[in-house]
Amino acid sequence: MNYIQKKTYKLISGSEGLRKRINAFYELLKNIYGTDKLILKATKLDALSCMRSKKLGKKVLGLQKIIFEDPTLDRIPDLVSIPSILEDLEEKAADILARRTLQESMEQKINFKLQQRHEDYIKDVKMQLLKEEAGPENPQTLKKYALLEKMHSVSLSRSAMEYLRPSSLDEVIGQKRGIRSLMSKIASPFPQHILIYGPPGVGKTAAARLALEAAKRMPHTPFSEDAPFVEVDATTLRWDPRETTNPLLGSVHDPIYQGARRELSEGGIPEPKTGLVTEAHTGVLFIDEIGEMDIHLQSKLLKVLEDKKVFFDSAYYDPTDPQVPKYIRKYFEEGAPADFILIGATTRAPMDISPALRSRCSAVYFEPLSPDDIKKIVDNAALKLGVVLTDEVREIISCYTSEGRGAINLLADAYGLVLYNSVEKGLPNPREKKITIDGEIIKEVLQSNRLVPLTQPKSTAQPMVGKIYGLAAAGFLGSILEIEAVSFPAAEPGKGKIRFNEAAGKMARDSVFNAATVLRKISGFDVSEYDLHINVVGGANIEGPSAGTALFLALYSAIKKVPLRQDIAVSGELSLQGKIKPVGGLTEKLYGARIAGIKEVFLPKENILELPSSFKEIKINYVDCVEEIIPLVLFGENGR
């Protein structure tokens, strides 16, 4: 074979290989784009004639137009350059194939996610349709509802206090003056805020509730028939500096608050929650033990009393947000209405209450209950229970408690004990006939409650040397002080000593030295010549100087050996000049004297305008100085 023949053979065999390679390239493009899309693409790129050509150069040109997507290419490559062109085209095709593979993979994942979301959405829609058709109930919720309904359908009988509490103002015993004062302030066209002072268990809460009911029936008061009476104990109210919760005034549930409504939290809308002051709107807000309320909360309450509204604030509130509901917008812009009458009750003295609160409220004083008041309360409770009481029961209960609530509880305990005894002994049901409560039953109740008498009657007609009764008041309760003194010649002449029990307090100790000075001033007795021992029986603590006169009389009697009357009681501060100065707590002190059986008392003349009208059974003498009182209380020399 000559050279030309060899060259021709090599070209023919080489071109055959290129043809197969080019055809394989077109097959690859068919697989990538598909036959129809490939033809359509070649038509747009003016490469269809090149594809169908039998010339290798034109077929390669067609590949170039399709791969590079450039219809302007028109240079037909020769056989020598075709291999290198195919290599470039293969590189480009590899990039296209890689991108297409990645794109298909991404599309598959996207389609999978879309399908998954679509299925979840269909599932949620189906569940919502099922809930709407079946409602919020299921067998478990219906079972719990049935159990709750059963619990609501049965209950124990009412408590003794609930059953026996006063149902009208006439049943509030011993507070006639206090109730008249209360009604004059609330049953008016212009009712006032009120603070009720008084000892516990005398009917402050019951009177406030019944006063509103009585005021509703009067035509000249602003209270409607449905005016609310909202009651709360101040010991349960606490001021939260973060303002996340305030049951008295209300608070704002911000969108981040755990209890915020979902539709509001998702829109970033805060929701105000009103408190008791808004619940009491147009009615009465009764706060028991108001003296225990936090001072910061008192200040905020005073602001509400002035504005008659509660204003809310939140950093999340946007007045320009059209999605804010109308009621929320109104709360933030106009506040929540809180026009009510405040009635506060306290067992504290007025000076223990915030001056700002006292200045906005009228004062009403409820008095301690006398033994006769306790007896009337017991009689009313016995009538409601349908029981018969012996006279001894009424007398015993009145000696062991000064609270109406305590008297009712004792009677209720005795009633239950009678029923229990009848069951224990196998007797017929005592409720089928009148139940009788006697002294033995009430004594057993007193023993089980470990109660002791409040104050046993201590007055006696037998005079005694160095002993006298003083009067004391603690809070709204009064009692008597049994003061005694003895004297001996000083163990060392001129070095007499005075002993006084420290439990009585520093103020009482100062009163002893004042009394010793006055004794020397008016009688010439030098206490340094005597050893004196003064005692307050029972270790009572004397908070003020009101026992000064009684201490002087005890020392005077002990040194002169002249007996003192034991059917009297004395109260008054003693000055160094021998003047008997005015004291406070007269009403409470006279109640203490009444309970102790004292029929005559001596008080400072400067207290004469404070004479209580409800102590007609006690003779009250007003004195100005010790020279005036000495002959009235001594028995024997220069006395009665």
- Positions annotated as catalytic residues are 546, 589
Nearest to 377 by CA among 121, 170, 125, 533: 170
DSSP result, 493-516: TT---EEE-GGG-HHHHHHHHHHH
> Which residue shows structure tokens 């109930």?
137
> Is beta strand 336-337 parallel, antiparallel or unpaired with respect to 309-310?
antiparallel
Cβ-contact 488, 531 below 8 angstroms: yes
Residues 177 and 367: beta-carbon distance below 8 Å: yes
Residue of 637, 522, 506 lying closest to 579 (CA atoms):
522
Q: What is the C-alpha R_g of the chain?
A: 50
Which tokens sit at 567? 């059917």
321-328, long-range: CB within 8 Å, 24+ apart, which pairs? 321/267, 321/268, 321/269, 323/267, 323/269, 324/269, 325/269, 328/264, 328/269, 328/270, 328/271, 328/272
Q: Any residues with CB less than 8 A from the CB of 31 and at least 6 apart, and which?
A: none
- Cα angle: 460, vertex 461, 462; to 5 degrees: 90
In what helix (H) or strand (E) does residue 570 lie, and over which residues does it extend? strand 568-570
Spatial separation of the C-alpha atoms in residues 242 and 226, rounded to whole Å = 35
